[in-house]
């Protein structure tokens, strides 16, 4: 996927369509081309519409008050009192109108589309269609106008990487389902038909052509999208994309527009991606994704300078998870990953995009630079990828509960004031309370609120350790610093 394929897209806003539509790609997948007649699209519509569904969702969102200046009445009352005003005056109930007593959530309706892919009730849609919906808050309307809702609709699984989700509905009847076509066989210029629920207009059909392939628009981690001229609008998300045989070649999920409505450019997730993800979710309730098991940071000029490298792109390994594929392969913190199976890696996202689509158990080759005595050595490691844990498992790490203690220390030569964490905290590192303006630390991009984890690859979990490490590297002109900012681990060098 080349940069010039995305340059035009960047000039437009890209909208995910929380109303969903069905794209039908024609031509290019049949063994013999079909002549295009007046009846062509009638036949495709008759064949496919019975399997297209409308999805209604109640999503939990923060109240407008919670997003504004005041979260509740007590906060507003305090605001007036602090300014010498009496909130008990008769005029103030006007200000308090509709403000909740406590922080609150409200449920707002949203709609989209989907398509039945198995007769026993499995439906594919976009993840963003059902995101933030609580159990029981999703209803599915079939093409015959019957509605299935409540406990009879279940989110069977989701894949945030590709913006796909699978629903399972309970029905006492055999449901019409569509098959997947091979999206690799789709040709630019071939006809397509889009069906779905645009602007809540159920059972709508539009036609167009495939105008491009392999588009990346930056709305999902894994993207290799089809572009189409078939008219799609808000409400189309999750609808199928079919060919003249009535087989799915894509699931539409976004448009590029200056207005939020269709301007001739829409995007769909290719059927081969959809099929692979759906099969995995139906079988295991989770998408099957390759997994390396590292935390990483982008390469910076200061890192390259420390390693004695020039013009090298890649990502720095910040942490290797225990018992992960990376650990078993010998990958270590501070390694710089530059290629995966011969393909360049320039950012963390690119590494994720190369690893995630691969099958667990597959072997890959990773090219790295490893520092030894401030010299970088090129190496190639073979890694057998594991199964990526679910998002819930990956987020099981306890929240950052570091609480600063009384003890503090100033390091004037670096321009830092540090503070130790609470004695009961198991979190690593030292909190940076202050960074002096124009100091070596400030020039290295380090900020107050960051946490220093290591100096020159040596852990610093206390002020005593910090002093000890500084004494050990007192003759070093450049100090390699590993630090955290929020949930990110970063690297820089401090020049003494």
Which domains are present in the chain?
A: 1-64+109-288 (2.40.10.120), 290-393 (2.30.42.10), 404-495 (2.30.42.10)
Positive or negative CA dihedral for 291, 347, 215, 267?
positive
pTM given for the model? 0.65
Which positions are catalytic? 128, 163, 237
- Among 9, 11, 15, CA closest to 232: 15
Measured CA to CA, the distance from residue 33 to residue 48 in angstroms comes to: 19
Tokens representing 308 are 């004695």
Would you state the pLDDT for residue 67? 44
pLDDT, tens only, 110-129 = 889 999 999 999 999 999 99
Tally of CB atoms within 10 A around 405: 14
Tokens representing 3 are 């940069």
Each residue's pLDDT tens digit in the chain (496 positions)?
A: 444 444 444 445 566 655 433 333 333 344 455 678 879 999 999 999 999 999 999 876 554 444 455 555 566 566 666 656 665 655 555 444 444 545 455 667 888 999 999 999 999 999 999 988 888 899 999 999 999 999 999 999 999 889 999 999 999 889 999 999 999 999 999 998 999 988 888 888 999 999 999 888 877 877 889 999 998 888 889 999 999 999 999 998 887 776 666 678 889 999 999 999 999 999 999 888 899 999 888 887 878 887 888 888 999 998 899 999 999 999 998 899 999 999 999 988 889 888 988 889 999 999 999 987 777 889 999 999 999 887 667 665 433 333 333 444 667 678 888 887 766 666 788 888 888 888 888 888 899 889 999 888 888 888 878 877 887 787 777 888 999 888 788 898 888 7
Would you say 134 and 284 are in contact if contact means Cβ atoms under 8 Å apart?
no
**Average pLDDT of the chain to the nearest whole number:** 81
């Amino acid at each position: 996927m080349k940069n010039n394929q995305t340059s035009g897209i960047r000039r437009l806003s890209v909208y995910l369509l929380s109303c969903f539509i069905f794209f039908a790609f024609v031509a290019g997948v049949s063994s013999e081309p079909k002549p295009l007649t007046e009846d062509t699209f009638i036949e495709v519509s008759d064949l496919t519409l019975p399997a297209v569904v409308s999805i209604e969702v109640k999503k939990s969102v923060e109240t407008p008050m919670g997003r504004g200046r005041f979260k509740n009445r007590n906060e507003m009352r305090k605001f007036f009192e602090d300014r010498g005003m009496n909130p008990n005056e008769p005029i103030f109930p006007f200000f308090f109108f509709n403000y909740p007593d406590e922080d609150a959530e409200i449920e707002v309706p949203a709609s989209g589309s989907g398509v039945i892919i198995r007769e026993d009730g499995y439906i594919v849609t976009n993840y963003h269609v059902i995101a933030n919906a609580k159990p029981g808050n999703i209803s599915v309307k079939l093409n015959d106008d019957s509605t299935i809702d409540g406990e009879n609709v279940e989110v069977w699984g989701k894949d945030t990487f590709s913006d796909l989700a699978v629903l399972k509905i309970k029905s006492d009847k055999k449901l019409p389902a569509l098959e997947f076509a091979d999206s690799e066989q789709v040709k630019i210029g071939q006809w397509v038909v889009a069906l779905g629920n645009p602007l809540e207009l159920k059972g709508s059909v539009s036609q167009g052509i495939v105008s491009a392939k392999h588009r990346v628009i930056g709305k999902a981690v894994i993207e290799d999208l089809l572009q189409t001229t078939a008219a799609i609008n808000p409400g189309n998300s999750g609808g199928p994309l079919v060919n003249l045989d009535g087989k799915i070649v894509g699931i539409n999920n976004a448009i590029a527009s200056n207005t939020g409505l269709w301007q001739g450019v829409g995007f769909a997730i290719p059927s081969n991606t959809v099929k692979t993800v759906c099969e995995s979710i139906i079988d295991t309730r989770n998408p099957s994704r390759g997994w390396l098991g590292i935390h990483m940071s982008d390469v910076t000029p200061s890192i390259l300078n420390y390693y004695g490298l020039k013009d090298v792109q890649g990502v720095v390994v910040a942490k290797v998870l225990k018992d992960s594929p990376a650990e078993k392969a010998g990958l270590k913190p501070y390694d710089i990953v530059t290629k995966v199976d011969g393909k360049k890696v320039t950012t963390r996202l690119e590494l994720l995009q190369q690893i995630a689509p691969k099958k667990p158990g597959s072997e890959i080759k990773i090219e790295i630079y490893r520092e030894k005595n401030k010299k970088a050595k090129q190496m190639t490691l073979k890694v057998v990828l594991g199964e990526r844990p679910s998002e819930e498992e990956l987020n099981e790490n306890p929240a950052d509960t570091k609480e600063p203690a009384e003890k503090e220390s100033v390091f004037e030569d670096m321009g830092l004031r540090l503070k130790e964490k609470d004695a009961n905290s198991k979190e690593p590192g030292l909190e940076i309370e202050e960074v002096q303006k124009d100091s070596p630390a400030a020039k290295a991009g380090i900020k107050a609120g960051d946490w220093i984890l290591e100096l020159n690859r040596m852990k610093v979990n206390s002020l005593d350790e910090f002093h000890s490490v500084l004494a050990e590297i007192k003759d070093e002109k450049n100090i390699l610093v590993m630090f955290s900012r929020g949930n990110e681990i970063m690297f820089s060098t401090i020049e003494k």
